[in-house]
Amino acid sequence: MSEGPPAGVQAMLLDIEGTTTPIAFVFDVLFPYVRTHLRAHIERHASAPEYEALFERLRDEHAADRSAGEAPPPWIPEPRAKRLESVAVYVAWLMDRDRKSTPLKELQGRIWEEGYSRGEIVGEVFLDVPRALERWRAWHLQIGIFSSGSVLGQQLLFRHSSAGDLTRFITHYFDTTTGPKSSQESYQRIAATMAVPAGACVFASDVVRELDAARAAGMQTRLAARPGNAPPPRDHGHPVTHSFDDLVITKRD
């Protein structure tokens, strides 16, 4: 008896946190690493044009927070040392709120890049993930990642994973520049980018509102029930998977 994907399935789309990777790795390793190295990293790279542009985008988000009635820490434009300090304090404020901010995620990715390159971070994935990625690619399925973390951060995690370089299996990466993960339109854009009908794509995530949006776009969905994940709401209506070993497999005679 052989195995293969169900008829019509052409692509897999995966969340990271709580789906391919333990939530604890994100909150106990990645986020603390950013907090520890944030100020030194900003000081070291502040003169680079791409960082100046990044700081300007953070400043615009700060202004939007103020306009929305929030109370972020003060943004201090001058002198330089005070400005960089205010950038770091605002970034920490965004992280405290788990804000899905594109410039925040970009800065986090740049900090993690240094950590991965020095061997201070190793990307953690569940043991079944490498097996599944290899199996799906052998079946000629496209494999995409959709995470609120930046594309750079996604690529680093899978390139420097505990199972080796897994990027050879992944064909597409999507982050908040595609759109919110709770928006139906984001999944429509992803299907178009992957050049597959939405109904031919299976999206796996531990977050029900993301699965709801993907299903509204026409995708098939799977709720990832991983160790450490919060219990899902009752009657969420999505098929549940506990392991990628049995995700998208059809037995064939």
Top CATH class of 2-21+123-252 equals: alpha beta
Q: Render pLDDT for 189-228 as a digit per residue (tens, 0 to 9).
A: 999 999 999 999 999 999 999 999 999 999 999 999 999 9
What is the rounded distance in angstroms from the CA atom of residue 162 to the CA atom of residue 155?
14
Give yes or no for residue 2 having a pLDDT over 80. no
Residues of the chain with CATH 3.40.50.1000: 2-21+123-252
- Assign domain 27-117 to its CATH architecture: Orthogonal Bundle (1.10)
Percentage of residues in the chain having pLDDT higher than 90 = 92
Check residue 253 and give its pLDDT. 45
Residues of the chain with CATH 1.10.720.60: 27-117
Q: Render pLDDT for 20-71 as a digit per residue (tens, 0 to 9).
A: 999 999 999 999 999 999 999 999 999 999 999 999 999 999 999 999 999 9
Strand order in the sheet with 142-146: 172-174, 142-146, 11-14, 201-205, 220-224, 240-241
3-state secondary structure of 221: strand
Q: Model pTM? A: 0.92
What is the rounded distance in angstroms from the CA atom of residue 102 to the CA atom of residue 2?
43
Check residue 169 and give its pLDDT. 98
- Stated as kind and residue range, the H or E segment containing 172 is strand 172-174
